[in-house]
Amino acid sequence: DAGVTQSPTHLIKTRGQQVTLRCSPKSGHDTVSWYQQALGQGPQFIFQYYEEEERQRGNFPDRFSGHQFPNYSSELNVNALLLGDSALYLCASSLARGPQKKNIQYFGAGTRLSVL
């Protein structure tokens, strides 16, 4: 049973560039959430995708956008990168239906983004 997979594991970009991070959810899951984790902090919710639409969004600017594909995988795009965007980006998947599994998010190992 494959868990949540993210790619790439590490990425180095310069200010102003754009980046795309990818996530494949745990087998059987249909919902993907993205979190940003700065060094020494807890993860901060960016947004969530379900049925290929953004369902919820945290306090992040429009430079952060995403997409969910028919196979439930997802991408996170960040435009006009700032130094402050350097962080670990975590993807979490969950199952929208089914009382036993609802609300439990399973996380990937993340993509470490460094903006120079």
Could you list the residues that contact other proteins (CB under 8 A)? 31, 33, 35, 40-45, 48, 56, 58, 88, 90, 92, 94, 102-110, 112
**Toward other proteins, which CB reaches closer, 13 or 112?**
112
DSSP letter (8 states) at residue 85: G
Tell the smallest beta-carbon distance from residue 3 to other proteins (Å). 8
Residue 59 backbone phi and psi in degrees, to 5: -85, 65
Cα–Cα distance list, 9 to 23, 66, 72, 100, 106 (Å): 11, 18, 20, 31, 17
Tell the smallest beta-carbon distance from residue 4 to other proteins (Å). 8
Are 45 and 59 in contact, with CB atoms under 8 Å apart? no
**Toward other proteins, which CB reaches closer, 71 or 103?**
103
**Toward other proteins, which CB reaches closer, 15 or 102?**
102
Tell the smallest beta-carbon distance from residue 102 to other proteins (Å). 8
Is the bond leading into 70 cis (omega within 30 degrees of zero)?
Answer: no
